[in-house]
Amino acid sequence: MRTRIAAGRVIDPAHRRDGIGDVWVDDGRIIDAPPSGTAADQTFNATGKIVMAGAIDIHSHIAGWNVNTARLLLPEFHRAATPRPAGTPLSNAGWSTFATGCLYAEMGFTTVVEPAVLPHYALHAHLELADTPIIDTATLAVLGNDDFLLALIRDRESATAVEDYVAWTLDAARALGVKVVNAGGSLALKANVRQFGFDDVVPDYGVSSREIVKTLQRATHALGVPHPLHVHCNNLGMAGSDATALTTIAAAEGLPLHLAHLQFYGYGKEGARGFSSAAPQLAEAVNGAKSVTIDVGQVMFGQTVTVSLDTLRQFNSRNHARPRKWVLLEGDANGGGIVPYNYRAGDFYNAVQWAVGLELFLLIDDPWRVFFTTDHPNGAPFTTYPEIFALLMDRDLRAQQIAALPPDAMAVTTLPGIAREYSLSEIATMTRAAPARLLGLTDRGHLGAGAVADIAVYSDDRDRAKMFRAAALVFKDGELVVRDGVVTRYRAGRALTVQPGRDRAIDRRMTRYYDERYGLSDAYIKIPDHAVGRPFGLVPCAR
Ligand SMILES: [Zn+2]
C-alpha cells in the first residue's frame, strides 16, 4: 500500500533536508517520490506540521530485573491505568512494559535501547522488551565486573581471546553493544572498598579500572561492533567527579568511546559548598576529542528512582533515599541497586545538577556527538523529554526557570549566560540521525529511500513541549500507530542485535567454565531464537 504524507515541513538532517515536501511510503519502507501525478492509496495532509524520522533513545532503563525490582520497591508510585481487582497482587500497577511502549510511541519515539543488561539476566530483559509494544528495542550487555574477563586480563591472555569472549557474550545475550559500569568498582565493593577511581586496582585480580575499559574498548572496536564501548565512569555523582570524566575522555586515545550520562560527572569543588558546575571544562574536552560521544542524563525536578548496576555508588547514596527505602543486590559481576530519589528545585545541589545537564547540551558544539537522555529514570522519567526539548530551544523559557532556582546554585554554573537555542534540525540530528549512526542502524533515523518507515509528525506549535508531548501522527514500519497523541494500533517491535564473528573454540571454553564454576550448562544464559516469540533483527558488524 502506497502512502503519501503530504506538504509537511520535512526535517531530515541526514540528507540536509529542511523544507516543505512529501514523504512516500510503500510496504513499510520509505520510497523516493514517484512521478508527479501518481496516486497514493492513502494520503495524510501534513500542512502546518513537522515531519521527522521516528526518534531513537540510546540509553533508557526500561527492562530487566533491576527495573522490575524498582517496580516492586515502590508500589505507591504506580499509576492505576488499568486497575486490577483490589487486593490482588500489584492491583495498582500501572507503569508496565505495555505503558512504556505506548508512552514512547506517543512522543514519536520508535527505537529504544535498554543499556544495562547483565548477560546472566538477559532472557528476563528480552521477555519484558518483547512485551513492550510498538517500539523496536535493543540491549547493551554489561561486562567489566565479571570474573571471566578480569581473569583474562590478569592472566595476560591475548587480545583475540578477549574479542572471542566479547563476541560470545553479545551472541548469547542477544545484545547490540557492550557497556561497562564502574569498571571493577562492583568487585571492589565486595572487598569492602568504598571509593574506586580509574587507576585503582581491583582486589584479588590486580587489574585496574583503566585496563578493563581499554581492553573492552579495543575488543569492541576490533570486532567491528558499530556502537563503541558504552562507559559508565567511576565516581558517579561526587564533587570532583569531573576529574574522573576528563581522565576517561583522555583515555579514549583516538578510538571510539561513548560516555553515558556525563551530567552526573560534571561536578567540580568550587564555591562555598564545594560543589559547582564543571560542565564548561567537560564540554571543552568533548569538543576536542573527536572520537568521543556522550549522552547527557539530564536531571528534571520531581520524584524518581535511581536504578543502577553501579552497586558501589548505590551503596554510598543509600542514605539519600526518598522515600527512605532501598535495595542493594549483590549478584554475579555487577549486582544492582535501587535508590528512590526526589530532585527538588529548592535544593542547591539538585539545582546545580539541572544546570550542568543543560550546560552540556548547550556547550558541546556538535549535535552529532551529544545525545539526548535523562538516563531514565535516574535523572528523570523519559516522559519529561518534551519539557527538555523546549528548554533547549528557548532561552527565555530557561531564564524563567533559572529565576525560580536558588541564586547561589546558579552562581556556580554558566547556564544563565548561555544564549544558544537548538533549532529543530539540531533536535532531529541529536534524536534521530546521530543515534542511528552511533548504533550502526543505517535503516533508520532518516527519511531517505529504503529506510524503515518510522515517521513522527508533529503539529508545529510555539509551545515545543506541547508539540513533542503528543505527536499528531506516528508510523511504525509504515503503519499508523498514533493519532493526536494517542496509540491507535498495537504491534510488536523487533529486537536489534549484533553477532560479530568469533573462533568457536571459545564456545567449548565457555561450556567448560560454566560447568566448573557454576555446575550449570552454558545454555542457561543463551537466548535461543524462539525464546521471546518475536524476530531478532541482525545489525551488521564490520567484521
Ligand atoms: Zn543508565
- Residue-level pLDDT at 130: 94
Rounded Cα gap, residues 357 and 493, in angstroms:
31
Distance between Cα 119 and ligand 1 center (Å)? 16
Going from the Cα of 61 to the center of ligand 1, the distance in angstroms, rounded, reads 6
In this structure, what C-alpha cell is assigned to residue 213? 575499559
Residue 335 Cα to ligand 1 midpoint, Å, equals 14
Give residue 403 CA to ligand 1 midpoint distance, Å: 30
Amino acid identity for residue 105 in this structure = A
Q: How confident is the model at residue 229 (pLDDT cuts 50, 70, 90)?
A: very high
- What is the pLDDT at residue 83? 53
CB 281 within 8 A of CB 240: no
The reported pLDDT for the residue numbered 85 is: 56
Instruction: Give the Å distance between the CA of 52 and the centre of ligand 1.
Output: 26
Ligand 1 centroid distance, CA of 376 (Å): 7
Cα 535 to the center of its chain, rounded Å: 22
What confidence category does residue 6 fall into, taking pLDDT thresholds of 50, 70 and 90? very high
Instruction: Give CA–CA dist 347/330, Å, rounded.
Output: 32
Distance of alpha carbon 456 from alpha carbon 52, whole angstroms: 5
Enter the C-alpha cell of residue 138: 535493543
Which among 542, 540, 537 is positioned nearest to 137, based on CA atoms? 537
- 469 contacts 477 by C-beta, under 8 angstroms: no
Q: Are 385 and 105 in contact (CB under 8 A)?
A: no
SS3 292: strand
Q: What's this model's pTM, rounded to 2 decimal places?
A: 0.96
* 474-511 residue pLDDT tens: 999 999 999 999 999 999 999 999 999 999 999 999 99
C-alpha cell at 435: 543515534
Indicate whether 86 pLDDT > 90.
Answer: no
CA of 86 to the centre of ligand 1 (A): 34
pLDDT of residue 424 exceeding 90, the answer is: yes
Interval between CA 295 and ligand 1 midpoint (Å): 10
Ligand 1 centre to CA of 116 (Å) is 7
pLDDT, tens digit, 9 for 90 and up, residues 123-179: 999 999 999 999 999 999 999 999 999 999 999 999 999 999 999 999 999 999 999
pLDDT computed for residue 437 by the predictor: 98
Torsion 280-284-287-293 (CA) sign: negative
Q: Is 396 left (phi over 0), alpha (psi -120 to 50) or beta?
A: alpha
pLDDT value of residue 394 = 98
Q: Confirm if 119 and 525 have CB atoms less than 8 A apart.
A: yes
- What's the average model confidence in pLDDT over 344-371? 98
CB of 111 closer than 8 Å to CB of 443: no
Q: Annotate 331-393 with DSSP letters as a single string.
A: -STT-EEEEEEEE-TT-HHHHHHHHHHHHHHHH---TTTEE---TTTTSS-GGGHHHHHHHHH
Which segments within 79-163 are labelled E, that is strand? 109-117, 136-142
Q: What is the pLDDT of residue 82?
A: 53
CA of 306 to the centre of ligand 1 (A): 9
Neighbours of 126 (CB within 10 A): 26
The dihedral sign for the CA sequence 267, 270, 271, 277:
negative
Residue type, 343: Y
State the Cα–Cα distance between residues 105 and 471, nearest whole angstrom. 8
Q: How far is the CA of 15 from the centre of ligand 1 (A)?
A: 31
Distance from the CA of 418 to the center of ligand 1, in angstroms? 27
Q: 119 — phi, psi (to 5°)? A: -50, -35
In this prediction, residue 20 carries a pLDDT of 98
**Looking at residue 80, what is its pLDDT?**
52
Q: 59: CA distance to ligand 1 center in Å? A: 6
The CA 181 to ligand 1 mean position distance, Å, reads 9
**Is the separation of the CB atoms in 424 and 17 below 8 Å?**
no
What whole-number distance in Å separates Cα of residue 467 and Cα of residue 49? 10
Distances (CA, A) of 107 to 56, 129, 143: 11, 18, 32
> How far apart, in whole angstroms, are the C-alpha atoms of residue 196 and residue 184?
8
Cα(416) to centroid(ligand 1), Å: 28
Instruction: Tell me if 345 sits within 8 A of 301, measured CB to CB.
Output: yes
Average pLDDT value for residue range 526-540: 90
**Per residue in 432-483, pLDDT tens?**
999 999 999 999 999 999 999 999 999 999 999 999 999 999 999 999 999 9
How far, in Å, from the CA of 60 to the mean position of ligand 1? 6
Rounded Cα–Cα distance for residues 69 and 89 (Å): 15
Cβ atoms of 264 and 297 within 8 Å: the answer is yes
**CA of residue 308 to ligand 1 center, whole Å:** 7
Report CA(62)–ligand 1 centroid distance (Å).
10
The answer, yes or no, to whether residue 88 has pLDDT greater than 60, is no
Strand locations in 400-531 (E): 455-459, 473-476, 479-483, 486-487, 495-497
User: Cα 373–219–165 angle (5° rounding)?
Assistant: 105
Alpha-carbon distance 466 to 522, whole Å?
49
- Mean pLDDT on 332-347: 94
Contact 118, 310 (CB under 8 A): no
Q: Which three-class secondary structure state does DSSP give residue 40?
A: coil
Cell representation of residue 210: 583503566
**First-to-last C-alpha distance (Å) of the chain:** 36
